[in-house]
Structure formats: structure tokens, C-alpha cells
């Protein structure tokens, strides 16, 4: 939506200061991303919704469950997702290569990365002063020191790849970063999951989910799905838009969600990484 004036001032006017408003450092494609987090009983919420309505904005309602630190520590697995300010462009369109032999021919789900992660040189500055970042495909990147801590932690189910950037004339340059990869893929989720709706489901069943933001995301598994889990896992389902016509270099892939144990979250927090969201998965007896 178009706001006339500084978003900080406008939000401050309804009492939404930096404690609840997370404003991106720079616009992406001319859009400045702003996240305001309020409890559904917060008296500022109707003011914010009125402000959005006044400016003709809709579809901005994101409902999410929130958890205490104790609940996060007790969760079997947590969905780990990116910080809006720590996302660097990388993946198929940057020259990262993938083995497509076991992937869906239509949507590319199941593409198996075969090279180092290559990220856009334009986004290098976003890594400065950070210890972790992600790509738009939820690939998790960590600095080499944090990679060493993870490797020595005894955490299971992880492997690392190099991270490079490509310069137009000078070729590839390796960065002091590593991509954190999961070796284990979860079984398909339970249909009792909410906020994950088969919308334009691909024939492979792995992509084409809609994640309506007004329904809290609850990723549900059966107790039996946990027998093989590791500290780092990815979902069988792939999320997000796809565009694949046989050429990986021109592909837009959906991507699996990254699921980690509280032990991994603790390692990130101990390293001073605060930008990730952590959302517990749910277990049902079936």
C-alpha cells in the first residue's frame, strides 16, 4: 500500500514502536516490507487495521501462533524461517546446479543440489555483520565459524556446501560462509495440518500448496513420522511458486521447509543470531 510519509512516524502515531514494528532496511522491488506483530487482544490492533483499511490495503492480515521459550524448547521440531533483512538471492538462476533425474518433470520438486550455493554479488552487503542468512528458497547460510560450531555440536542430519558469488568478469569467488543442508526428508505431512492448503496441487503431490496468511500455519505429523528424524530435516512438501520448463538456469523452484530440533535453535541463539522465526510442529496420534 502507499503510505504518505515515513512509516515509522505513521506507526508511532498509533503506538506501534520498534518493539512491535520490524521495518526492512531497504525496499525490495520498490516495496518496503514492514511487519507489525500484535496480540489479537492488543488495543492497537483495531487502530492498525483501520489505518490499513483507510489506505485501501487488504490481505495483509497474518495470523500466527506464538510460543513461550519453554514451549519452543519442548517442541519435537521447529520450522525455521528467514529474517526479512537477511535474505540473499541465490539458487538455480544464479548458476547453482541441480540433478533433476528424480525430480518432478513438471514442477521441479525433488531437485537435488549438486554444486556449491551461488549467490548474487548484488546481495553480498547483506551478509556483512551477520552470522546467518537465507536464500528465497529457504536455503540456510551460516558463517564458517558458526558452521564449525554446528559441525562439532554432534547435531545429526547435517552436511555443508560452499557458498560462492559470481562476478561477471572475474569468475567465482568463495565466501567465508557455508550452506547448511539437511540429509533427511520427512514423510508427507498429516492432512490435519492447517494453513497449508492443496490449491493448485502438482501431479507429484509435492508442490502447489497455498498458505493463506489469515489461517495460522500448523504443520502436523503423526507420531510414527518421528522415528527417523534428525536434528536437521526438510519437509517432503515443497512450498512457493514454481516455473520449470526443463531449463534449471531459468527455473523458479518451490522449496521444502527447514525443520530443526530445539538443540539447533539454541546453537543459533548462542551465536547471537536473532532474526529467525521458530514455529513448533504438532504431533497427532493416528
**Which residues in this chain contact Zn ion in the complex, by CB under 5 A?**
104, 106-107, 109, 202, 204
User: For residues 107 and 119, which CB has a smaller minimum distance to Zn ion in the complex?
Assistant: 107
User: For residues 158 and 202, which CB has a smaller minimum distance to Zn ion in the complex?
Assistant: 202
Shortest Cβ distance from residue 241 to Zn ion (Å)? Answer: 13
Shortest Cβ distance from residue 204 to Zn ion (Å)? Answer: 3
Instruction: List phi, psi (to 5°) of 93.
Output: -75, -10
User: For residues 56 and 246, which CB has a smaller minimum distance to Zn ion in the complex?
Assistant: 246
User: For residues 72 and 204, which CB has a smaller minimum distance to Zn ion in the complex?
Assistant: 204
Cβ contact 114:91 at 8 Å: no
Shortest Cβ distance from residue 242 to Zn ion (Å)? Answer: 8
How would you write the chain as a 3-class SS string? CCCCCCHHHHHHHCCCCCCCEEECCCCECCECCEEECCCCCCCHHHHHHHHHHHCCCCCCCCCCCCCCHHHHHHCCCEEEECCCCCECCECHHHCCCEECCCCCCCCCCCCEECCCEEECHHHHHHHCCCCEEECCCCCEEEEHHHHHHHHHCCCCCEEEEEEEEEECCCEEEEEEEEEEEECEECCCCCCCCECCEECCCCCCCCCCEECCCCCCCECEEEHHHHCCCCCEEEEEEEECCCECCCCHHHCECCEEEEEECHHHHHHHHHCCCCCCEEEECEEECC
Shortest Cβ distance from residue 202 to Zn ion (Å)? Answer: 3
Q: Give the Cα separation of 186 and 237 in Å (integer).
A: 9
User: For residues 141 and 202, which CB has a smaller minimum distance to Zn ion in the complex?
Assistant: 202
Shortest Cβ distance from residue 235 to Zn ion (Å)? Answer: 14
Cβ contact 11:36 at 8 Å: yes
Shortest Cβ distance from residue 165 to Zn ion (Å)? Answer: 30
User: For residues 199 and 228, which CB has a smaller minimum distance to Zn ion in the complex?
Assistant: 199
User: For residues 32 and 203, which CB has a smaller minimum distance to Zn ion in the complex?
Assistant: 203
User: For residues 108 and 262, which CB has a smaller minimum distance to Zn ion in the complex?
Assistant: 108
Residues near 97 by Cβ (< 8 Å), separated by ≥ 6?
113, 114, 115, 248
**In 3D, which of 235, 234, 254 has the Cα closest to residue 106?**
254
Shortest Cβ distance from residue 105 to Zn ion (Å)? Answer: 8
Shortest Cβ distance from residue 234 to Zn ion (Å)? Answer: 16
Amino acid at each position: 500500500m502507499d503510505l504518505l510519509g515515513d512509516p515509522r512516524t505513521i506507526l508511532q502515531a498509533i503506538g506501534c514502536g520498534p518493539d512491535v514494528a520490524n521495518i526492512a532496511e531497504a525496499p525490495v522491488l520498490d516495496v518496503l516490507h514492514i511487519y507489525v506483530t500484535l496480540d489479537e487482544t492488543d488495543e492497537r490492533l483495531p487502530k492498525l487495521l483501520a489505518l490499513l483499511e483507510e489506505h485501501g490495503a487488504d490481505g495483509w492480515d497474518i495470523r500466527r501462533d506464538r510460543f513461550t521459550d519453554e514451549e519452543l524448547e519442548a517442541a519435537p521440531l521447529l520450522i525455521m524461517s528467514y529474517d526479512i533483512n537477511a535474505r540473499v538471492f541465490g539458487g538455480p538462476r544464479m548458476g547453482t546446479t541441480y540433478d533433476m533425474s528424480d525430480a518432478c518433470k513438471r514442477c521441479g520438486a525433488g531437485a537435488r543440489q549438486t554444486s556449491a550455493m551461488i549467490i548474487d554479488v548484488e546481495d553480498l552487503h547483506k551478509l556483512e555483520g551477520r552470522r546467518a542468512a537465507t536464500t528465497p528458497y529457504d536455503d540456510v547460510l551460516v558463517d564458517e565459524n558458526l558452521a564449525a560450531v554446528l559441525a562439532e555440536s554432534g547435531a545429526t542430519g547435517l552436511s555443508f556446501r560452499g557458498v560462492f558469488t559470481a562476478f561477471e568478469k572475474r569468475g567465482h569467488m568463495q565466501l567465508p560462509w557455508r550452506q547448511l543442508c539437511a540429509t533427511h526428508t520427512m514423510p508427507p505431512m498429516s492432512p490435519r495440518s492447517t494453513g497449508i492448503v492443496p490449491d493448485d496441487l502438482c501431479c507429484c503431490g509435492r508442490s502447489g500448496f497455498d498458505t493463506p496468511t489469515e489461517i495460522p500455519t500448523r504443520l502436523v505429523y503423526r507420531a510414527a513420522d518421528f522415528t527417523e528424524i534428525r536434528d536437521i530435516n526438510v519437509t517432503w512438501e515443497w512450498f512457493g511458486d514454481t516455473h520449470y520448463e526443463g531449463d534449471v538456469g531459468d527455473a523458479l523452484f518451490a522449496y521444502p521447509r527447514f525443520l530443526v530440533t530445539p538443540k539447533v535453535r539454541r546453537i543459533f541463539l548462542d551465536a547471537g543470531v536473532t532474526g529467525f522465526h521458530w514455529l513448533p510442529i504438532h504431533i497427532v496420534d493416528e
